[in-house]
Amino acid sequence: MDLVQVFSNSGDLAGNNRRLHFCPQCGQRLHQKTLAKFERQRCDRCAFVHYLNPHPGITIIIRSREGKVLIGRRSERSRYGGRWCLPGGYIEYEESFIDTAHREVAEETGLKIRIDGIVNVVSNHLDDLHHTLVVVLTGQQSGGILRPGDDLTALRWIDGEQHKEIGYAFEADRSIVDCYFAGNIKILPIDPGAEQRLA
Ligand SMILES: [Zn+2]
């Protein structure tokens, strides 16, 4: 049960489904150009480059006092609907990853949390449209009332035995929960000031 940092599904990961036809700055048709060994689209008129980057997000192992982990079932209308995942989501431009953790946990679970630290960072190439860079945190409930929300339709606390039976949406989630129940995670503390600034 070693920590794993890179996950890649088979299939095309060239970003072809994220390409644009026209410059978002000036409307000119974009052209392919090789930049730092990658094919990117560039505007000949205004020099705009359409870079392709992963989308940063967070996910979090919320631990109960008994050492259980909170997971949620994804709604049928979401990708991998009906499967289970750790709470989490994409970081909005105005947020720190810590802000995102508090917001996503509140939206998806109804809980307030204390974040204890970082346990992993993951490159997750899901498919040609979805490449995420995920900071995996851990924390514990500090308030709130458990209630599924946003894209989650159910929540459950699982122990190490129940974990083995779960159909996870993301291999990265299964992997880090494996490590947690195997007692094989270390916690990199976060700046306590970052938590206080939110208060
Ligand atoms: Zn342009």
Residues 177 and 81 in one domain: yes
Please write the tens of the pLDDT for every residue from 34-85. 988 888 999 999 999 999 999 999 999 999 999 999 999 999 998 899 999 9
Residues 35 and 132 in one domain: no
Number of structural domains in the chain = 2
Residues 138 and 87 in one domain: yes
Residues 156 and 98 in one domain: yes
Q: Is 159 in a helix, a strand, or coil? A: coil
Identity of the residue numbered 117: G
Distance 46 CA to ligand 1 centre (A): 4
- Please, is 193 exposed, middle or buried when counting C-beta atoms within 10 Å of its C-beta (0-12, 13-18, 19+)? exposed
Strand-strand pairing, 111-127 and 6-8 = parallel
Least confident of 47-51, 77-81, 107-111, 190-194: 190-194
DSSP letter (8 states) at residue 192: H
Q: Are 74 and 173 in contact (CB under 8 A)?
A: no
Select from 29, 50, 71 the last residue of a domain: 50
1 found inside a domain: no
Question: Helix H segments across 25-170?
Answer: 97-109, 160-163
Residues 39 and 75 in one domain: no
Distance 42 CA to ligand 1 centre (A): 8
Q: Is the pLDDT of residue 198 over 60?
A: no
CA neighbor of 169 nearest in space, from 107, 53, 90, 76: 76
Residues 180 and 92 in one domain: yes
180 found inside a domain: yes
Specify the residue for token string 């998806």: 108
Q: Check which CATH number belongs to the domain holding 192 and give it.
A: 3.90.79.10
Distance, CA of 36 to CA of 2 (rounded, Å) = 33
Distance, CA of 104 to CA of 60 (rounded, Å) = 10
Q: Is the pLDDT of residue 152 over 60?
A: yes
Distance 41 CA to ligand 1 centre (A): 11
Residues 62 and 40 in one domain: no
Q: Are 157 and 86 in contact (CB under 8 A)?
A: no
Mean pLDDT along residues 21-46: 92
Write down how long the chain is: 199
CA neighbor of 3 nearest in space, from 183, 139, 190: 183
Distance 16 CA to ligand 1 centre (A): 20
Please write the tens of the pLDDT for every residue from 74-98. 999 988 999 999 999 999 999 999 9
13 found inside a domain: no
Distance, CA of 167 to CA of 107 (rounded, Å) = 22
Print the domain residue range for 90. 55-198
Distance 57 CA to ligand 1 centre (A): 29
For the chain, the average pLDDT equals 92
119 found inside a domain: yes
Check residue 130 and give its pLDDT. Answer: 86
Distance 49 CA to ligand 1 centre (A): 8
